[in-house]
Structure 1
């Protein structure tokens, strides 16, 4: 059983548009960051559930025509390049955890209703590197102290 620690910084707004994602994400949650640019909410699970399972954030990015484009990136500093490209008003709608690119994309495609995630690349099935897990854990640990 994972013990969850909740930390709130600033204000957060719950995203109700993806209720199934939110419920399933809570079961495997390592980190939940809701940040429309500057607002942040963190929930951290116990370290024994974290064996190279990385957290990916699902973002909804508003376009000038009002359409919300979904995007997916790694949580923490490895996703900073992606989040820097988000338009003003972008919101984090949820998160997905996984042990490999294929694992995460399979969950993401299922959530979006796009069918099975296709890949021709064997490396997509390889577990995430230990170094990536260490980088993300260091980011998580900063907020758990």
Structure 2
């Protein structure tokens, strides 16, 4: 189990665009890497995502490129890009992010929306 001493800010571009406040995560997380992560392949409709670390330890996980400009504009000027990943949907991106952070299985309250591919959203 991993006990986080400080909350981690998790911001995605959808929160910025909708005016939602950043999500804060704190607590114990079991180490778990789903086998399905290794089965995911890069497809033409994938989009790049970035994980940024700020000087105070906060993190921002957002889309690369223009779709992530709003989230990156909120970051400290000394934030560092620490990880990049490609994904076909928000759900796939968050699943890979959770595996990278060893936080366990990513679950969503909005599976139909979060599993919609970027291609279907016209974000290619």
TM-score with structure 1 setting the length: 0.52
Aligned to 2:85: 96
The structure having more radius of gyration, on CA atoms, is 1
Shift of the alpha carbon at 1:50? 5.2
Task: State the SS of the aligned residue for 1:97.
Answer: strand
The equivalent of 1:87 in structure 2 is 76
Q: Counterparts of 2:108 and 2:43 in 1: how far apart (Å)?
A: 25
| Unpaired stretches in structure 2, ≥5 consecutive residues | 1-40
2:104 aligns with one of 115, 125, 134: 115
Corresponding residue number in structure 2 for 1:23: none
**Structure 2 SS opposite 1:116:** coil
The root-mean-square deviation of aligned C-alpha atoms, in Å, is 1.6
Equivalent position SS for 1:62: coil
Aligned residues: 82
- Give, in angstroms, the shift of residue 88 of structure 1: 2.1
Question: Is 1:127 paired with 2:107?
Answer: no
Distance verdict in 2 for CA 1:118–1:76, change over 3 Å: same
